[in-house]
């Protein structure tokens, strides 16, 4: 038995106006200081004013939010006592808001202990609206909560089906001014979600179509979105949420396991990190004699005519690298600005963190420590995986 979870999704032009229909006494907006400075949150505030609710803003979420931020935000919620939590931002903001929501309902819980086996009773105090301002993480529709433990230099893959937001508002106006670099980072995150959601061992009939469509939308629209095409940006905004629904109801896989470990240790943005490893992990899985990767089916849907899985994996990896180069993204660790000596000094920690990442075991081929070592070293040099 498996589950399919989704919020109520409002998308398209003027979707933000749905906020004016909410009922309650208080709303807390969770966001970051940059979005406040740029005026992105202003339209959210204006819509909430129409409800008559009292609103308060918590704008102290930073990229790769940590456990302490979640604790502090939850304390602010407990003092304000909102009926609605409105997360306005990228995946960092939405994940932090989810963590705060859990602690607001259950002050006895530590944020690094959020898990799918425990009941939190979230909606007894407040409901949640998620409004993404980037087109990548899909956090607005998933039950994942990714937080950073900066002291241990690692990312924590947490989650509970209770933290799926009640409402997701996918309004293209929120990403109209998204800079090219963030467009590419987050867009490649969406692509990684789509591909791994389709090929992870937890894939299923309810998610396959979502992942396939999302992957095609990214390949078709991300290069133009990177150049500032507004229609392509709109399509990417939808692709990110569709990919979120797909992988959020199956799972991600090995590129996320390596990307989480690498990004946390070297402070590389999440989307850039997982996408960097995606071609290498595809080649690694395609080299397995056991097969079962589904790369031939995915490649065929994307217009790549390779028939067997190894050839399809190689063609798919090449197509991803071609896209990364068009977006001026690193295709190897060296191009990410990391010295080889720095990588080697952290290699044991990288391997340990990747081995312990919940997404690693969702791969069709699960590496041992020696294979992980080789994967990181091959990815440093940009070598195609031949083992």
Q: Are both 26 and 113 inside the same structural domain?
A: yes
Residue 197 resides in a domain: yes
Number of domains comprising the chain: 2
Question: What pLDDT sits at residue 1?
Answer: 87
Residue 3 resides in a domain: no
Q: Are both 124 and 152 inside the same structural domain?
A: yes
Taking the C-alpha atoms of residue 106 and residue 122, their distance in angstroms, rounded to an integer, is 8
Over 80: is that where the pLDDT of 307 sits? no
Q: Are both 187 and 144 inside the same structural domain?
A: no
Name, in order, each residue with C-beta under 8 angstroms of 199's C-beta and a sequence gap of 6 or more.
Answer: 253, 285, 293, 294, 295, 298, 364
Question: What pLDDT sits at residue 150?
Answer: 84
Question: Please, is 345 exposed, middle or buried when counting C-beta atoms within 10 Å of its C-beta (0-12, 13-18, 19+)?
Answer: exposed
Question: What pLDDT sits at residue 54?
Answer: 97
Which residue range is the domain that position 234 belongs to?
180-381
> Where a domain ends, among 131, 160, 175?
175
Residue 386 resides in a domain: no
pLDDT, tens only, 69-88 = 999 999 999 999 999 999 99
Q: Are both 196 and 308 inside the same structural domain?
A: yes
> Where a domain ends, among 146, 175, 204?
175
pTM of this prediction? 0.96
Q: Are both 324 and 221 inside the same structural domain?
A: yes
Structure tokens belonging to residue 125: 């105090």
What's the mean pLDDT when you consider all of the chain? 96
CATH of the domain at 140: 3.40.50.1970
> Where a domain ends, among 175, 194, 222?
175
Question: What pLDDT sits at residue 171?
Answer: 98
pLDDT category at 59 given cuts 50, 70, 90 is very high
Q: Are both 171 and 234 inside the same structural domain?
A: no
Q: Are both 37 and 185 inside the same structural domain?
A: no
Over 90: is that where the pLDDT of 155 sits? no
Question: What pLDDT sits at residue 22?
Answer: 98
CATH of the domain at 364: 1.20.1090.10
Over 80: is that where the pLDDT of 131 sits? yes
């Amino acid at each position: 038995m498996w589950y399919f979870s989704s919020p109520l999704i409002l998308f398209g032009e003027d979707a933000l106006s749905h906020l004016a229909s909410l009922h309650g006494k208080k709303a807390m907006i969770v966001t970051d200081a940059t979005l406040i400075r740029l005026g992105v949150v202003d339209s959210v505030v204006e819509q909430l004013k129409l409800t008559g609710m009292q609103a308060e803003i918590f704008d102290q979420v930073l990229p790769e939010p940590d456990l302490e931020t979640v604790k502090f935000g939850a304390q602010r919620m407990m003092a304000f006592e909102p009926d609605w939590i409105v997360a306005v931002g990228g995946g960092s903001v939405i994940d932090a808001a989810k963590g705060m929501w859990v602690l607001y309902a259950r002050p006895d819980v530590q944020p690094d202990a959020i898990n799918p086996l425990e009941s939190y009773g979230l909606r007894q105090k407040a409901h949640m609206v998620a409004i993404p301002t980037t087109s990548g993480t899909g956090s607005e529709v998933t039950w994942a909560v990714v937080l950073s433990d900066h002291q241990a230099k690692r990312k924590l893959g947490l989650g509970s089906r209770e933290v799926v937001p009640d409402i997701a508002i996918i309004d293209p106006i929120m990403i109209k001014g998204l800079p090219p670099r963030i467009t590419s980072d987050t867009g490649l995150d969406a692509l990684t979600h789509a591909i791994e959601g389709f090929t992870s061992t937890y894939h299923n009939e309810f998610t396959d179509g979502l992942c396939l469509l999302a992957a095609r939308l990214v390949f078709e629209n991300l290069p133009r979105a990177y150049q500032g095409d507004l229609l392509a940006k709109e399509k990417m905004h939808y692709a990110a949420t569709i990919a979120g629904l797909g992988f959020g109801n199956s799972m991600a896989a090995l590129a996320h396991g390596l990307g989480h470990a690498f990004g946390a240790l070297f402070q590389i943005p999440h989307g850039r990190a997982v996408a960097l490893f995606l071609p290498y992990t595809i080649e690694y899985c395609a080299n397995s004699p056991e097969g079962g990767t589904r790369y031939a089916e995915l490649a065929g849907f994307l217009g790549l005519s390779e028939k067997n899985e190894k050839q399809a994996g190689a063609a798919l990896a090449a197509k991803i690298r071609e896209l990364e180069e068009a977006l001026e993204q690193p295709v190897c660790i060296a191009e990410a600005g990391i010295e080889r000596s720095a990588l080697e000094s952290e290699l044991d920690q990288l391997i340990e963190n990747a081995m312990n990442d919940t997404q690693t075991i969702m791969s069709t081929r699960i590496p041992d420590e020696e294979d992980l070592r080789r994967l990181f070293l091959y990815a440093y040099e940009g070598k195609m995986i031949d083992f």
